[in-house]
Structure 1
Amino acid sequence: MESTSAYHSGRVGQRHALMVLAFLGCMFMYATRVGLSVSMVAMTKSTVKIVNLNSETNSSRIIVEVCPLLQTKPLKVSSNNGTVPSRDQNRKYDWDAKTQGLLHGAFFYGYLVSQIPGGWVAHKIGAKIPMAASMVIIGILTIISPFAADGGVWAFFVVRLLVGFFQGVVYPSITVLWSEWAPPKERGRLLSVSYSGLQLGTVMGMFLAGFLAQTYGWESIFYCFGVLLLAWVVPWMFLAYDSPSKHPRISEAEKEYIMASLNPDIELDNLGEAKPTDPPIKPQRTVPWLEIFKTIPVWALLISEFGYNWGFYVLLTNLPTYLNNILHFSLKSNGALSAMPYLSVDFLIGAFVGTGSALVGVAYAGCDATLAVALFAVGVGLSGGVYVGHFIMYTEMSPNYAGILIAMGNTVGTVTGIVAPYVVGVLTSGEGGQSVENWQTVFFIAAGMYGFITVVYGLFGTSVRQKWD
């Protein structure tokens, strides 16, 4: 039998297989979330008035309308503007900007209420079953989404709300899973790789959604992403386990390495179990709610979540609409260009400052499509630094209650998923609402949020483990 002394942290083991599964789960789950951003462009009728500089149009209207459409511009006009035929012209809905903002926010109503209960359930019964059940339900709801849209705004709203509710269980469950599986020295890497699936899921979702909508119709976005989620559940049920002690195929050396690193004061017998005289590995405790809410660094994280998610959700839900209505990209180009910012390299230092500054640049870029997309890429790429920054600080501050803390953070951040898309809808609705000036206001608000949380996070953020843990 291989001894722990012969085992080292660089060895590939079952925790790495779990990391791959968590990565793929996050990727497919997020694809279902961002798919609506592109499909909303394809499934709704457009009321945007395009200014053509080569037509007999009063040039003063350029100031209040969307960017002018030049015949020499090497861009295809979106199908919503009538020059590229849609696969199904009849299956489009008269949903104005406010209604679209409401439907984008529907997801977050459900996501908001399930965060903390999801973390609590995962702490009580383990993460495997809650994640599997949630993914199955999300997959089914995603597949039936086009039929819900035929039923009207509120039918579609309810389906999106339920998708959000069950996705809210997944995020804290992953954190709980790694509290049992991740040795402290590897925690940052294992969590970062797992959560990076969110970033790649955004890329895949945007790219694939644009292609599917243009080629097979917007309904195929929901069918494809729903099937991917259902397929993921199969290997998850066979390969994932709540802890090393429950895994039937893990090597004794890896099991002892993980459990000893998480609980350095215990001694394991030859079966990898704690000896009867040892204290429990994870003693059941009452969550120290009062101490948590009295901790200033926790509040710093919660405030950071609110500001970060405001900018993030503005881009995630509205970037395809901006590219379509203001810069006139086709559906296929729209999906690809919406995904490009999420391919940027992630940085920790300056994530908030860099993202805010880039959004200010976008506001001033106006109708310069190349500059706008480049600045989006810089801004979103820098924002990815949070996955190796303040997200991991939840686990560093409290390994025992990380699922609870990250559920709290997601709950606060999710409020912006409800408010931000609706605010964008209000700012860009009505006659002349889809204008460069109104979208500048959208980006300025998001940049201001990033500036504020930079100060708060810099002054009060910490990764020190708290006494109440």
Structure 2
Amino acid sequence: MAEESSTVDIDTANRNGKSGKNEIDLVPSTFHLSDTITSDDENGDYSYNKMRNVAQTSFPCSFKRYLLAFIVVLAFIAAYSMRFNLNLEFREMVLNMQGNSSVSVGENNRSNIKVFHYLWEPHLQGFALSVFFYGYTAMQIPGGWLAHKFGGFSILSFSMLVSGILTLLEPILITTGYAAFIICRILIGVAQGPIYPAMIEFWKEWSHPNDRARMVTTTEIGASIGTIFAMILPSVIVQRLNWSSPFYCFGIIGIAWPILWIAVSSRTPRSHNCSCMNEVSVGKESDEACMPEYNEIPWKLIFTSLPVYAYAIAFFCEGWILFTALTHIPKFLLLHREYDITHTGIKCIIPFIGQMIMLFISGFLSDLFISRDYLKPTIVRKGIYVIGNVISAACLITIGFLDDLNAALICLFTTIIIDGATRSVMLVNPLDLASPYAGFIMGIGHAACNLAGCICPLMAGHITESMAIERWRFVFGITAGISLLGAVAYIVGGSAEEIEGISSMNNKNKYKSLPTADSENVHLLQKENASPGINDK
């Protein structure tokens, strides 16, 4: 064989034993074909030598992958800032007066900084804030299909670019009329719809199975940081510049991000321009490493899978809990405890900081327990989700009966923080169920999550019309029940094992090529797929 080493990885080769082929009793590893595959006889029996268990020792170029994780975090920060900055913008834009007028802005009352204030009725403001999620929710499943077809790298670039351009147009469209601005917000939602499926598709290519949860949850930290930025930065920028400046700042960041992304990343590790990255195969299984760029989604297999439905229900329930904690509990505290958490400075960002920490801890512990075989993946995923939902349910029931404000805040903060743990499970589970189609399954789950965000405010608004505290307790009780429903559904139907039939579906797509191997290595790997298992000798 050639002296120059080429790499292929076998992550969970034992999985193929279900079909009676390639039963390789190995932990996820990366090995060099030129060092490891040798033919013992002309009948095609092979032995594996010099196996290096990368997953349990060092992982080459991990710094580069964490660098890419940091850049994806920046994308989520920018995306969430563009998504939520309008909340504070309305405080500067809207006055309870007819027409519009020009007034000075900022604590220093600088007369040369002027801003237009527009009269929009409260229901119009609420509609403008919510229409983003109409486009965003509708685009989840199509976005999953697009991410699967074109790759997470390309879709992330396109989504951020379009979102940035549309955000730059927002202050212009506000001055032209309500309808144009609403259409723009819907289109921003459509543009950002594929972001989560694209993120999962990207880490499907780049993450090792032993650090998938860490990579995915590290990326999700950007969502929490973006939410904090959207709560703080617009006010700071408006005070120093003018009301339209936050739109321009976030829009420019959205446009600049794809440039950075294209410069330092690529669709797959094998196509990366860094030589040391080409020497590492990061968690792709031997089947997947050589599979075609695109294979058809097994629609029937996915939509008839019990774990997929359990995942969607669990994600719906997680979304319902989070939207209740972020919108209804603060309103309850304002009405019945006379406490406005949005005006408390650092206190309002404490739960999001805690959520970030919980995301990282959950991802780290999940990978630790799974990679060292302390617990099976399904037990890890179910354990984290169920414990998180039970704690959230207890906090939600308790908060309506607490007279002490500090105790109520502790319940609120705990609910938001513990959501970081349950959300970490929901983000990584598609990679467990069907790694080749993880982006599409993420689209299904995230659509269910955002559907909860559309239904939850309507239900709560109808129930609490009288503002009576008993009605609020009823709302929190319903949410606690939904939390427990999600836990039961995930216990019964949830799984971290691959959907039965996914491997055989992929095997229909024969190896197209092995970019980093010579032709002899490709021949050996293809022959191995058709020969009796190594351990069968």
> Within the alignment, does 1:455 sit opposite 2:478 as a pair?
no
Tell me which residue corresponds to 2:16.
Answer: none
Q: Name the residue aligned to 1:396.
A: 432
2:299 to 289, 292, 296: 289
Match of 2:399 in 1: 362
**Distance in 2 separating the partners of 1:318 and 1:38:** 18
CA contact (8 A) 2:149 2:294 kept: no
Q: Within the alignment, does 1:352 sit opposite 2:389 as a pair?
A: yes
Tell me the amino acid that sits aligned with residue 278 of structure 2. Answer: K
- Show the counterpart of 1:14: 64
Pick aligned residue for 1:258 from 278, 281, 284: 281
The whole-number CA distance in structure 2 between the counterparts of 1:39 and 1:320 is: 19
Show CA shifts across 1:342-368 (max 9, x none): 1114253522222232233333346x5
Rounded to whole Å, the distance in 2 between the matches of 1:95 and 1:448 is 35
Deviations 1:327-356 (A, max 9, x none): 45486x356443221111425352222223
SS in 2 for 1:389: helix
Corresponding residue of 2:372: none
Against the structure 1 CA distance between its residues 409 and 156, is the aligned structure 2 distance closer, same or farther, given a 3 Å change threshold? same
Q: 1:420 aligns with which of 432, 456, 461?
A: 456
Q: Any residues of structure 2 matched to 1:229-308 within 5 Å, and which?
A: 229-251=254-276, 254-258=277-281, 261-264=283-286, 280-282=290-292, 284-308=294-318
The residue number in structure 2 matching 1:77 is none
Match of 2:79 in 1: 29
Deviation of 1:317 after TM superposition, in Å, equals 5.2
Identity %: 26
Distance 1:89 1:233, change over 3 A: closer
Q: Please, which runs of 5 or more residues in structure 2 have no aligned partner?
A: 7-31, 33-51, 98-108, 363-383, 503-537
Verify the 8 A CA contact 2:325 2:415 in the aligned structure 1.
Answer: no
CA contact (8 A) 1:105 1:417 kept: no
Distance verdict in 2 for CA 1:315–1:248, change over 3 Å? same
**SS at 2:117 equivalent:** coil
Equivalent position amino acid for 1:291 in 2: L
State the Cα distance separating 1:9 from its structure 2 match.
1.9
Residues 140 and 285 of structure 1: is their aligned pair in 2 closer, same or farther, counting only changes over 3 Å? closer
**Compared CA separation, residues 461 and 217, structure 1 to 2 (3 A):** farther
**1:100 Cα offset (Å):** 4.2
CA contact (8 A) 2:92 2:117 kept: no
Residues 101 and 422 in structure 1, CA contact (< 8 A), matched pair in contact too: no
More displaced stretch, 173-182 vs 127-136: 127-136
List per-residue Cα deviations over 1:131-154 (Å, max 9, x = no partner): 222112212222333443444543
Asked if the contact 1:210–1:336 (Cα under 8 Å) also holds between the matched residues in 2, the reply is no
> Does 2:133 correspond to 1:123?
no
Q: Aligned partners of 1:370 and 1:89: how far apart in 2?
A: 38
Distance in structure 2 (CA, Å) of the matches to 1:115 and 1:91: 34
The alignment partner of 1:144 has SS state of: helix
Q: Distance in 1 between matches of 2:121 and 2:134?
A: 19
Give, in angstroms, the shift of residue 166 of structure 1.
0.7
Equivalent residue, structure 1, for 2:249: 224
What residue number does 1:55 align with? none
What TM-score does the superposition give when structure 2 sets the normalisation length? 0.67
The offset of 1:290, in angstroms, is: 1.1
**In structure 1, distance between residues paired with 2:240 and 2:399:** 30
> Aligned residue for 2:23?
none
Residue 45 of structure 1 deviates from its aligned partner by 5.4
Q: Which has the higher strand share?
A: 2
Q: Secondary structure at the match of 2:194?
A: helix
Q: Aligned-pair RMSD on alpha carbons?
A: 3.5
Aligned to 1:165, which of 184, 190, 197?
190
Distance in 2 between the 1:136 and 1:406 partners? Answer: 22
Partner of 1:91: helix, strand, or coil? strand
1:375: which partner in 2? 411
Offset of residue 426 of structure 1? 4.7
SS in 2 for 1:364: coil
1:135/1:166 contact within 8 Å kept: yes
Deviation at 1:468, TM superposition (A): 2.5
Tell me which amino acid in the other structure corresponds to 2:489: V
Contact 1:138 1:167 in 2 (8 A): yes
* Structure 2 residue 119 is matched with structure 1 residue 93: yes
Q: How many residues align?
A: 411
Whether contact under 8 Å (2:164, 2:251) holds in the other structure is: yes
Q: Deviations over 1:93-131 (max 9, x none)?
A: 3433x4444333311211122222222222222222322
Q: CA deviation at 1:296?
A: 1.0
Q: Could you give the per-residue CA deviations for residues 354-385 of structure 1, whole angstroms, max 9, x where no partner exists?
A: 2232233333346x543333322111000011
Verify the 8 A CA contact 1:101 1:421 in the aligned structure 2: no
Aligned to 1:179: 204
Q: C-alpha displacement at 1:229, in angstroms?
A: 2.0
**TM-score, normalised via structure 1 length:** 0.76
Which of 350, 359, 363 in structure 2 is aligned with 1:340? 350
